Amino acid sequence: MRTRGFAIPTFSAVCLFCAAMLGAQASGPAVLTIHADRTASKVSPTLYGLMTEEINHSYDGGLYAELIRNNTFRADWSGVNDWILVERGDASAKISVDKTSGPSQALPYSLHVEVSQASAASPAGVLNGGYWGIPLRTNTTYHGSFYAKEDSADVGAVTASLVADQSGKVVASAVVSGIGTEWKQYTFTLKTGAIAESMGNHLVLTVAHPGSLWLQLVSLFPPTYRDRANGNRIDLMEKLAAMHPQFLRFPGGNYLEGDHLADWYDWKKMIGPRVDRPGHPSPWNYWSTDGLGLLEFFEWCEDLHMQPVLAVYAGYSLRHEHINPGGDLEPYVQAALDEIEYATGGSDTKWGAQRAADGHPQPFHITYVEIGNEDWFDTSGSYDKRYAQFYKAIKAKYPDLQLIATAPIKGMTADVLDEHYYLRATDFFHDATHYDKTDRNGPKIFVGEWATREGTPAPNMGAALGDAAWMTGMERNSDIIVMASYAPLLVNISPNAMQWDTDLIGYDALRSYGSPSYYAQVMFGSYIGDATPVSSADGAGPRFFYSVTEDSAKKRLFVKLVNASSDAQALDIKLPGAKLAPEGKLISLSGKDPEATNTIDQPTAVAPVESALHGVGESFHHRIPPYTIEVVEMEMR
């Protein structure tokens, strides 16, 4: 059956006798015919990107490289979380939260360390174990800082030390002297020597004399990606870069909305010096420091050459509370307009000037703004009017922006509609043709969240096969699908760090790994052209999926082949009239079993293997092993 230049695979009758004779082979050989000289549709240049939010310690304890946990001394019934009193030798001290003194309006409180007895041999202070450990590497410089004041100069210097948990050995240490009686920020550097890398370390801050010390916003950074101050973890940024993402959707997801109306992503509290950011509760049950704030999202885009897809809060929160459209919603509409101006305005605009003052004079370019998140949950029906109010105000000032709706809108066609799919592999196998039938006169589609949810904490090979099957359908239909992003992206795999299982990239404090689904994303994002040629497949098994794209400038043809069956798939590939280099490239991701996966200790058990593909021509034979995703790259002459 032919549909708009491609064919849905037909299921040939399986010859049981032949299958037995050939060993494990689904059916076949199937025939894949590609008319490289005939374009069926265009491929969106922004098809694959990233979706992100603060979930699973994606930022705090994840991508955001800050090493100190609870660096603003938040406390509950059990005391000051993540901080422990240090009393060496016969030192004596106590700690408490002083709600009356802090370095800023955003942080009007601090940790009070009252030292009744201490000496150089017996110092007193506090320690912090980081986010499930402080990772240290050989010969590396760590940049630290804190805000502090003392009740008298007699208390003296603060010593900052990195200490190995098991041995108690001081790995690096620095003395911060001259602490005054008014709040001020102090900085220090800690340099490791030739140590074995480990995450079993903690930071200790001590004084050697009795008296009172107040601390706030303690910070320690390892080297960051592109050496950005307040920047991101290098290994995770490199993994994201390898996906060749074209955009970043931020800041959520549920994180945009918050549990209650008061918990919305109030971006004005997430810019400027960190001491001016109070932090806020994330809907994923932990406090967000907002150290990775609005500007840092844009800088993340800049670093990975991604388009920002900015989601603005639209007056709906997760506990089904909404702001009434009209006057009540107006302040939120204005906040969105200000946010867009902060991102895109020149330094001659109010919020563009603020961005320049925050360290980024150059405006960012935005094409898409998303209004809300998953507003189909709003059973009150207020989204139609809320969307219309945002739409009218944003389009009046920024007519070129494409505005994304998160649910179909009654009475108008949104520019783009964001659709989400969290499914099992079999669901994606059955629905891989989903968009083949979509009306081309409706809104463009942004598949803003989707994933095959099989495997924990990260998806396994079976999930990667479901993903790949679905991606063939998205590629084929990317005349209408302008963007697509897997979610969630990141998970800290340490105890109790995860709220949502099946996440693309896992990590602890020191190491990280990509799941089989991650590698499927890398393959699909790395090998994609700008057009889909006319093609058809006949005689393949029901778990065979494919897509073909062509890079007209580089003269490359990329054929993605997915065999989700336990049997091999034989394939005759025919390219009538095409002139091809006789050697192509084959990138292959294979698992022995759908359960096959990667872990922090075996990070590349399932990983793509690259090889030369000989005998490429107008017609050639190919065999796809069981449970395999492949890209065949061919050079056209």
Which chain residues interact with ligand AHR by CB under 6 A? Answer: 53, 252-254, 373-374, 449, 487-488, 500
* Alpha carbon of residue 459 to chain centroid: 15
- Interatomic CA distance for residues 37 and 24, integer angstroms: 35
- Interatomic CA distance for residues 3 and 546, integer angstroms: 14
Question: Which residue lies nearer to ligand AHR by CB, 492 or 628?
Answer: 492
Q: In the bound complex, what is the minimum distance in angstroms from residue 387's beta carbon to ligand AHR? A: 17
The secondary structure of 461-492, three-state, reads HHHHHHHHHHHHHHHHCCCCEEEEEECCCEEE
**How far is the CA of 568 from the CAs of 168, 285, 615, in angstroms?**
55, 45, 20
Q: In the bound complex, what is the minimum distance in angstroms from residue 253's beta carbon to ligand AHR? A: 3
Question: Which residue lies nearer to ligand AHR by CB, 214 or 297?
Answer: 297
CA atoms within 13 A on the CB side of 637: 9
Question: Which residue lies nearer to ligand AHR by CB, 27 or 282?
Answer: 282
Q: In the bound complex, what is the minimum distance in angstroms from residue 256's beta carbon to ligand AHR? A: 8
Nearest CA to 521 out of 259, 275, 239 is that of: 239
Query: Of all helices (H) and strands (E), which one includes residue 344?
Result: helix 330-344
Q: In the bound complex, what is the minimum distance in angstroms from residue 410's beta carbon to ligand AHR? A: 22
**How far is the CA of 580 from the CAs of 31, 172, 312, 521, 553, in angstroms?**
18, 59, 48, 26, 15
Q: In the bound complex, what is the minimum distance in angstroms from residue 536's beta carbon to ligand AHR? A: 36
Question: Which residue lies nearer to ligand AHR by CB, 11 or 376?
Answer: 376
Question: Which residue lies nearer to ligand AHR by CB, 103 or 514?
Answer: 514
Dihedral (CA of 483, 304, 513, 54) sign: negative
Q: In the bound complex, what is the minimum distance in angstroms from residue 310's beta carbon to ligand AHR? A: 15
Q: In the bound complex, what is the minimum distance in angstroms from residue 377's beta carbon to ligand AHR? A: 8
Report whether 432 contacts 472 (CB < 8 A): yes
Dihedral (CA of 273, 274, 280, 282) sign: positive
- Interatomic CA distance for residues 389 and 381, integer angstroms: 14
Residue for token pair 């897809």: 309
Question: Which residue lies nearer to ligand AHR by CB, 286 or 500?
Answer: 500
Question: Which residue lies nearer to ligand AHR by CB, 419 or 449?
Answer: 449
Residue spans of beta strands (DSSP E) within 74-139: 75-76, 79-80, 83-87, 92-98, 110-117, 124-128
Q: In the bound complex, what is the minimum distance in angstroms from residue 86's beta carbon to ligand AHR? A: 39
Report the residue closest to ligand AHR, judged by CB: 253
Question: Which residue lies nearer to ligand AHR by CB, 70 or 254?
Answer: 254
Question: Which residue lies nearer to ligand AHR by CB, 492 or 565?
Answer: 492
Burial 527-565 (b: 16+ CB within 10 A, else e): bbbbbbbbbbbebbbbbbbbbbbbbeeeebbbbbbbbbb
Q: In the bound complex, what is the minimum distance in angstroms from residue 477's beta carbon to ligand AHR? A: 22
